[in-house]
Amino acid sequence: MEDIKTPYNSVLSIAGSDSGGCAGIQADIKSISACGAYAATVITATTAQNTTGVTDIHAIPISHIEKQLESVLSDIQFGAIKIGMLHSCEVIKIVKEKLAVYELKNIVLDPVMVTTSGHKLITDDAIECLKKLLPHVSLITPNIPEAELLIDEKINEKNMEVAVKKIGELYETSVLLKGGHLTVDSNEMTDVFYLRTTGKVTIINNPKVITNNTHGTGCSLSSSIATFLSLGESMDSAIVKGCDYVNKAIAAGKYKILGKGNGPINHFGI
């Protein structure tokens, strides 16, 4: 009997590199692999980073980012694309251009703009350029500070549903609003998903895990959702499975130790 060849379910991550391995490209590769797909990458920047913080950032030249994009996109068929931090208008422009040329689908964008402490990670110009990219993707996954920046309003547990709809309609895309930054006295974590094609809002609750090992959760969540989309799941199903995967990976890494600061989730410990 002749062997039957089957293609990999592949996901492309376009993001920065974290030398500590907790976030960025490294977290994406782990999440994509753990959830059952093949990971390819386009690196937009490298960082000197560990569990305690970032000490240096090196931007990859635009011409090299373009060559990376053309190299993988001209050769590999991707079932989904995950986009992480795009640090300048020039990077955003070339990524947007290539997304259109190759008519890519299932694009999940983690709009990395603000740190947990509320400091902006990219310039105001880059933020405005990023906003123009949002209508061209399938899903965005902002945390509370990033969502507030997108609509210039404060968000709390009472207005999350209103906010997620507003973001979705303003930027013409589906939205997963992550509730991890809310200081709510509850045993549950609440995320809110707005599916723009139907107008449906879904509340997603998972057990709250008390731990400092949450470095890279946003990267891991967006890349796991992209993976489930590449495996043929609907957007609703991919969202629920991605949130469940990350929640379990956080729990699995609760008692692990890496470095002197905030450690990663345990991608393969679920």
CATH code of residue 218: 3.40.1190.20
Q: Name which of 15-29, 107-121, 227-241 the model is least confident about.
A: 107-121
Q: Is 214 one of the catalytic residues?
A: yes
pLDDT of 41-81, one tens digit each? 999 999 999 999 989 999 999 999 999 999 999 999 999 99
35 closest CA partner among 234, 207, 243, 211 = 243
| Residues 91-106, mean pLDDT to the nearest whole number | 96
Is 118 among the residues known to form the active site?
A: no
What's the confidence (pLDDT) of residue 184?
Answer: 64
Q: Quick one: pLDDT at residue 162?
A: 97
Instruction: Please answer whether residues 66 and 73 qualify as being in contact, where contact means their C-beta atoms are separated by less than 8 angstroms.
Output: no
Higher pLDDT, 123 or 111: 111
Q: Say if 4 falls within a structural domain.
A: no
Question: Does 263 reside within a domain?
Answer: no
Catalytic-role residue among 21, 79, 218, 253? 218
Residue 204 has pLDDT above 80, yes or no: yes
The answer to whether residue 91 scores a pLDDT higher than 80 is yes
For residue 182, the model assigns a pLDDT of 76
| Catalytic residue of the set 219, 227, 241, 253 | 219
Confidence (pLDDT) at 2? 72
Please pick, among 51, 178, 253, 263, the residue that the annotation labels catalytic. 178
Inform me whether the pLDDT recorded for 82 exceeds 90.
yes
**Which is catalytic among the residues 41, 47, 214, 227?**
214
Residue 180 has pLDDT above 90, yes or no: no
Q: Which of 16, 20, 168, 216 is flagged as catalytic?
A: 216
In a domain, 264, yes or no: no
144 in any annotated domain: yes
Which helix (H) or strand (E) segment holds residue 15: the answer is: strand 10-18
Q: 266 lies in a domain?
A: no
Task: Supply the Cα-derived Rg of the chain in whole angstroms.
Answer: 18
Q: Residue 34 pLDDT > 60, yes or no?
A: yes
24 is catalytic: no
Residue type, 53: G
pTM (2 d.p.) = 0.96
Q: Which residue has the tokens 């293609």?
A: 7
Mean pLDDT of the chain: 94
217 is catalytic: yes
253 catalytic? Reply is: no
> What's the pLDDT at 113?
87
User: How many domains is the chain partitioned into structurally?
Assistant: 1
Q: Is 168 a catalytic residue?
A: no
Q: Which contiguous run of DSSP H or E holds residue 204?
A: strand 200-207
Domain hosting residue 120, numbered range: 10-252
Over range 124-132, report the average pLDDT: 94
Considering only residues 221 and 57, tell me which one the structure prediction assigns the higher pLDDT: 221
Number of neighbouring beta carbons within 10 Å of residue 255: 9
Is residue 257 included in any domain, yes or no?
no
Domain presence at residue 1: no
In a domain, 267, yes or no: no
